[in-house]
């Protein structure tokens, strides 16, 4: 039996099994097996999908946003709206067959937006160009999940399941679990909170299933089986996602209102130009970028030309953004803004900058 059939068998069994206290354990083990086969499937196809026949587009700008969605939801229409790049849009499915890059600027940041072919159910298992599309999605700073407001509500969980199947976790944090494999000493298990979805026995069994007999496990959050598996497998991508419902010109106000209230969701109409500004602003917020300004000694800061850095950036990152070799001749920096105790404050390389800070670098 091939891996695909094995996966299908387990999926059928999971679907068939009623969820209750008595079956919880059995389901947990089934999920562990499923995760193992899926990992094998991804591993086995890596070299093939990474070549990605024409789907590799150079990263450019300060951040990358990748659109992913079923066919004809309006991905190409949106690319043509937000960027000068024209991507052919049409009423038939699979109009777009390659990766089409576009670029737009917001608050001084250059943001790359990628249009891709539509994916279909089963994409994660290699249907259509799903694997290649998903491989590109993995390179994104933010995934823009495009949905059709006129279509069934099922499209969102279906797409999420396709991404989940290849180890992508949307808008979730890394589970607060420390897990270290050792050479000897058996398995030591500790939990600092009450666990409602998983217990010591389950942890032992899962580790056993993966032939791990020596490890330290400390669980600090009320996680479930899936989250524990994520920790054990370790190759998960935790990605930020915006759910974008397009074509709201076709549905009732009540329906628009209901969709818009979902978390991380933006509703738009590309056709009628509705809410596109808010979408761009939401993308910017989700990207978590900051703009800092530089100034030379005795001069005013250049407020027209900021530097774009990621949230959590330090003076070292700022130096790199100014010039590749600046860090070598760095003595200290003067900073004005909300990151300092007084203005200006003299700081070193490891100082964390804030959005809208002004930085003056003093060289050796």
Summarize as ranges the residues that interact with K ion (CB under 5 A): 72, 95
Task: Check binding of 250 to ligand GTP (CB under 6 A).
Answer: yes
Q: How far is the CB of 270 from ligand GTP (least distance, A)?
A: 4
Q: Which two tokens stand for residue 343?
A: 């203005």
Placement of tokens 């949230």 in the chain: 311
Residue 56, interface with ligand GTP (CB under 6 A)?
A: no
Name the nearest CA neighbour of 198 among 180, 167, 168, 221. 221
* Among ligand GTP, K ion, Mg ion, none, residue 246 binds (CB under 5-8 Å by kind): ligand GTP
Listed residue (178, 226, 235) closest to 206, CA to CA: 226
Residue 49 interacts, among Mg ion, ligand GTP, K ion, none and using kind-specific CB cut-offs from 5 to 8 Å, with: none
- The one of ligand GTP, Mg ion, K ion, none whose footprint includes residue 36, by CB under 5 to 8 A per kind, is none
Looking at residue 192, the DSSP 8-state letter turns out to be: S
d(CA 283, CA 166): 24
Say if residues 347 and 315 touch (Cβ distance below 8 Å). yes
Q: Least distance from C-beta 247 to K ion, angstroms?
A: 12
- What residues numbered 340-359 form the site for ligand GTP, per CB under 6 A? none
CA–CA separation, 122 vs 157, rounded Å?
13
> Which is nearer to ligand GTP, 246 or 294 (by Cβ)?
246
Site for ligand GTP contains 129 (CB under 6 A): no
- Strands 345-347 and 100-106: what pairing? unpaired
Q: Cβ(341)–Cβ(318) under 8 Å? A: no
Site string for ligand GTP, 272-311 (x = CB under 6 A): ----------------------------------------
85 binds ligand GTP (CB under 6 A): no
* Residue 121 interacts with ligand GTP (CB under 6 A): yes or no: no
Q: Which is nearer to ligand GTP, 146 or 333 (CB)?
A: 146
Structure tokens at 325: 């070799």
With CA atoms as reference, report the closest residue to 303 among 361, 358, 360: 358
Q: Which is nearer to ligand GTP, 117 or 175 (CB)?
A: 117
Q: Residue numbers of the site for Mg ion (CB under 5 A)?
A: 75-76, 95-96
CB of 85 or CB of 95, closer to K ion: 95
Tokens of 29: 């083990």
**Residue 246 binds to ligand GTP (criterion: CB under 6 A):** yes
Q: How far apart are CA 339 and CA 337, in angstroms?
A: 6
Q: Which is nearer to ligand GTP, 144 or 239 (CB)?
A: 144
CA dist 318 and 338 (Å) reads 16
For strands 330-336 and 345-347, give the pairing: antiparallel
101 binds, among K ion, ligand GTP, Mg ion, none (CB under 5 to 8 A by kind): none
In whole angstroms, how close is the CB of 97 to ligand GTP at the nearest point?
8
């Amino acid at each position: 039996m091939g891996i695909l059939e094995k996966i299908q068998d387990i999926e059928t069994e999971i679907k068939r099994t009623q969820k209750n206290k008595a079956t919880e354990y059995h389901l947990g083990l089934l999920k562990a097996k499923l995760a193992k086969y899926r990992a094998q499937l991804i591993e086995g196809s890596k070299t093939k999908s990474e070549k990605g026949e024409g789907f590799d587009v150079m990263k450019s700008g300060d951040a990358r946003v990748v659109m992913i969605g079923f066919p004809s939801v309006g991905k190409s229409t949106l690319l043509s709206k937000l960027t000068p790049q024209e991507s052919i849009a049409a009423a038939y499915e699979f109009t777009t067959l390659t990766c089409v890059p576009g670029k737009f600027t917001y608050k001084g940041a250059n943001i790359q937006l990628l249009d891709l072919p539509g994916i279909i159910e089963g994409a994660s298992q290699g249907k259509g160009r799903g694997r290649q599309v998903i491989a590109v999605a993995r390179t994104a700073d933010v995934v823009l999940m495009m949905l059709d407001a006129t279509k069934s509500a099922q499209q969102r969980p279906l797409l999420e399941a396709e991404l989940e199947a290849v180890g992508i976790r949307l808008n979730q944090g890394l589970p607060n679990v420390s897990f270290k494999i050792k050479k000897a000493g058996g398995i030591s298990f500790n939990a600092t909170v009450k666990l409602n979805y998983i217990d010591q026995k389950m942890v032992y069994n899962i580790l056993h299933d993966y032939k791990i007999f020596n490890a330290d496990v400390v669980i600090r959050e009320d996680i479930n089986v899936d989250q524990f598996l994520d920790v054990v497998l370790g190759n998960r991508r935790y990605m930020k996602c915006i759910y974008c419902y397009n074509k709201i010109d076709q549905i009732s106000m009540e329906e628009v209102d209901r969709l818009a209230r979902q978390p991380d969701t933006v509703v738009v109409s590309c056709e009628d130009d509705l809410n596109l500004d808010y979408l761009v602003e939401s993308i910017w917020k989700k990207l978590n970028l900051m703009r800092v300004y530089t100034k030379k000694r005795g001069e005013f800061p250049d407020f027209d030309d900021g530097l774009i850095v990621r949230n959590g950036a330090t003076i070292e990152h700022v130096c790199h953004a100014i010039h590749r070799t600046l860090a070598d001749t760095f003595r200290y920096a003067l900073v004005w803004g909300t990151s300092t105790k007084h203005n200006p404050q003299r700081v070193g390389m490891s100082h964390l900058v804030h959005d809208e800070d002004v930085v003056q670098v003093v060289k050796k």
